[in-house]
Amino acid sequence: MADNRVVVYKGPGQVAVEPIDFPKLEVPDDVAEGVGLKKKAEHGVILKVVSTNICGSDQHMVRGRTTAPVGQTLGHEITGEIIEKGSDVLFLEEGDLVSVPFNIACGRCRMCMERKTGVCLNVNPARPGAAYGYVDMGGWIGGQAEYVMVPFADFNCLKFPDKEQALEKIRDLTMLSDIFPTGYHGAYTAGVTTGSTVYVAGAGPVGLAAAHSAQLLGAAVVIVGDAIPERLEQARSFGCETVDITLDTPIEEQIADIVGEPVVDAAVDAVGFEARGHGPEAHEQPATVLNDIMSVTRVGGKLGIPGLYVTGDPGAPDPDAREGTLKIRIGLGWAKSHSFTTGQCPVKRYNRELMMAILHDRAQIAKAVNATVISLDDAPKGYQEFDRGAAKKFVIDPHGMIS
């Protein structure tokens, strides 16, 4: 019997809200069989979803740019209230309000012990790492839903210390499940510190989160590059400088006009594999941003790359890119002695500290990314607006709990 609803991928450019069974304390069959877990998940909890966000990573699937099958459930940014817990959950209680990292992690394997929770070894038989509602990430049901199951809850769930206070700040706290830690990870691994000059490629929600994170880390100047005027205006709204990549003026020259030289101390790729070239008639060039950030980062600098790159892209512009092989100027990065950090953000490495920054008014991430609340029924419309480049971070409120 369907006692739940979830957003489902229906084919390129299409999503729908469909009925689905109420979650059980069980792991997906493929995970149980593939890695030897028990089917019954007494280590899990069931959440009433308070907020769940639309992510740019979801859009890659919805555009048909991954191998996601029709029927794939969506949603990996989850904040919710515990309404049921398994007998092995020791430190959480029904009624607790928690943030859920998009990385599903067991808390027991070597990677989890090393705080590399984005590549947990025990939650996905296909490859290291898992996520809710994402292709090739273990078959876990998506969280753009009314209810969802979270495994290994004592390890994965971040409990908010004061539920009433958390609900008042939910527009900010909902960003802890992914984009705030992901943006922070990009800036932190790029070496941003007091007085840094920083270039962030991409003014989508992750790029804006990276820019705000760079400010928190003490950057002197944060420059954000994008092709969409509305998104560049959003970056300027909280103190960033901007670069318009549709202009014929090279990025290096635009940066020099801002900081006095054509390079920065640190750079972040918040675009990923659907990158486009420069100029008013630019077309898709998957390696453009990676090459840009090498070009504009000083000798000995660092590059943070939270932007998503995939091993299977059916819509890529050339055969190599379809399997994730890109024309990267690695010789330039080598010659400049750059350091690169790639891969999923290990959310648990950062989320507690960022929670404290929000609760004590040191971070205003909802303002930075223009958090915009919609109902679950309006999720398809939200996907359409986001795909058109809206300068908004859509927050889905399935139960009308966000004031």
Give per-residue pLDDT as tens, 225-261: 999 999 999 999 999 999 999 999 999 999 999 999 9
Residue 161 within a domain: yes
Residue 85 within a domain: yes
Residues 145 and 190 in one domain: no
Tokens of 318: 């050339």
Residues 82 and 212 in one domain: no
Q: How many angstroms separate the CA atoms of 383 and 239, rounded?
A: 27
Q: Using one digit for the tens of pLDDT, what is the confidence trace for 260-310? A: 999 999 999 999 999 999 988 888 999 999 999 999 999 999 999 999 999
Residues 308 and 271 in one domain: yes
Residues 216 and 338 in one domain: yes
Q: How many angstroms separate the CA atoms of 214 and 156, rounded?
A: 26
Residues 265 and 354 in one domain: no
* Strand blocks (E) in 104-249: 147-150, 158-159, 197-201, 221-226, 241-244
Residues 194 and 325 in one domain: yes
**Is a pLDDT exceeding 90 seen at residue 101?**
yes
20 in helix, strand or coil? Answer: strand
Residue 403 within a domain: no
Q: Using one digit for the tens of pLDDT, what is the confidence trace for 351-371? A: 999 999 999 999 999 999 999
Q: How many angstroms separate the CA atoms of 388 and 296, rounded?
A: 28
Residues 222 and 282 in one domain: yes
Residue 8 within a domain: yes
Q: What is the mean pLDDT of the chain?
A: 96
Residue appearing with tokens 């994730």? 324
Question: What is the reported pTM?
Answer: 0.97
Q: Which of 250, 259, 336 lies closest to 294, judged by CA?
A: 336
Which CATH number covers residue 388? 3.90.180.10
pLDDT value, residue 282: 86
Instruction: With beta carbons less than 8 A apart as the criterion, state whether 294 and 226 touch.
Output: no
* Nearest-5° Cα angle at 260, 255 to 266: 55
Residues 231 and 277 in one domain: yes
Which CATH number covers residue 304? 3.40.50.720
Long-range contacts, 236-244 (Cβ 8 Å, 24+): 237/367, 238/211, 238/212, 238/364, 238/367, 238/368, 239/215, 240/200, 240/211, 242/203, 243/199
Residues 211 and 167 in one domain: no
Q: How many angstroms separate the CA atoms of 8 and 133, rounded?
A: 9
- Give the pLDDT mean for 33-51: 96
Residues 107 and 56 in one domain: yes
What DSSP designation does 73 have? B
Residue 402 within a domain: no
Residues 174 and 110 in one domain: yes
Number of Cα atoms under 13 Å in the Cβ half of residue 302: 14
Q: Which of 147, 124, 153 lies closest to 43, judged by CA?
A: 153
Instruction: With beta carbons less than 8 A apart as the criterion, state whether 103 and 130 touch.
Output: yes
- At residue 1 the predicted structure's pLDDT band, cuts being 50, 70 and 90, is very low
Give the residue from 300, 323, 342 where a domain finishes: 342
pLDDT value, residue 279: 86
Q: Using one digit for the tens of pLDDT, what is the confidence trace for 175-211? A: 999 999 999 999 999 999 999 999 999 999 999 999 9
Residue 142 within a domain: yes
Residue 368 within a domain: yes
Distance of CA 386 to the CA centre of its chain: 14
* Domain span holding position 27: 2-178+346-396
Residues 308 and 390 in one domain: no
Give the residue from 303, 318, 342 where a domain finishes: 342
- Domain count across the chain: 2
Q: Which ranges constitute the DSSP H helices of 286-364?
A: 288-296, 319-322, 330-335, 351-359
